[in-house]
Amino acid sequence: MSIRSLGYPGADGKRLSSRSQDAGATWSTPVPEPQLPDAGGCAGSVVSGSAGTVYYSHPNAHGRTNMSVWVSRDEAATWAAPAPVFAGGSAYSSMAMLQGRADVHAPGGTETVALSFEKGGYKSIAFTTLTF
C-alpha cells in the first residue's frame, strides 16, 4: 500500500508503504520509501505485475507536476528511475494491469499498464498505456 506522508514523523517528504501478508486482513507499520517522492501529499497508485514486478504512479515534483511511473522488479525493495508520462500539472492517478493484450506477458517480459490521471490543473482526465 502506498500512503501519503503528510504529518507522519520521519517521512521527510517521501512516500510511505505498508505491506500485507494475508490479503489485506492486517498491515505492517508504515515505513518511508526513500526512492519515491510524496510531492505534496497527492494520491498515487500501485499495481502488481508478474514475477515480483510492482508499478507506482505519482507526480515527480512538488506542486503536482511531472506525472511519472516507477517500476520495481524485486517486490518493491528497489525502484528504477521513473518513466516520465506528462511534464505539466498532474495529480490523482490510478493504474490497472491490462489483460488480453498480446504484449501483457510477452516473451521479453514486457507488461502493459493503463494509467489515468488528472491533467493540466484539474482541467481534464488523461488516459494512456505504458509498456515496460
Q: pLDDT category, 4, cuts 50, 70, 90?
A: confident
What pLDDT, on the 0 to 100 scale, is given for residue 113? Answer: 93
What pLDDT, on the 0 to 100 scale, is given for residue 99? Answer: 73
Question: What is the domain count for the chain?
Answer: 1
Position 86 in a domain: yes
Q: What is the tens place of the pLDDT at every residue in 44-96?
A: 899 998 888 999 999 988 788 999 999 999 988 899 999 999 999 999 999 99
Domain with 11 in it: 2-94
Beta bridge partners of 54: 48, 72
Q: Are 76 and 54 in contact (CB under 8 A)?
A: yes
Position 104 in a domain: no
Q: pLDDT category, 5, cuts 50, 70, 90?
A: confident
Spatial distance between the Cα atoms of 111 and 13, rounded to a whole number of angstroms: 30
Position 100 in a domain: no
Beta bridge partners of 58: 68
What pLDDT, on the 0 to 100 scale, is given for residue 73? Answer: 92
Position 120 in a domain: no
- Percent with pLDDT over 70 in the chain: 91
Position 71 in a domain: yes
Position 116 in a domain: no
Q: pLDDT category, 15, cuts 50, 70, 90?
A: confident
Which of the pair, 123 or 63, is modelled with greater confidence? 123
Residue 100 has pLDDT above 60, yes or no: no
Spatial distance between the Cα atoms of 46 and 70, rounded to a whole number of angstroms: 10
Position 131 in a domain: no
What pLDDT, on the 0 to 100 scale, is given for residue 117? Answer: 96
Position 101 in a domain: no
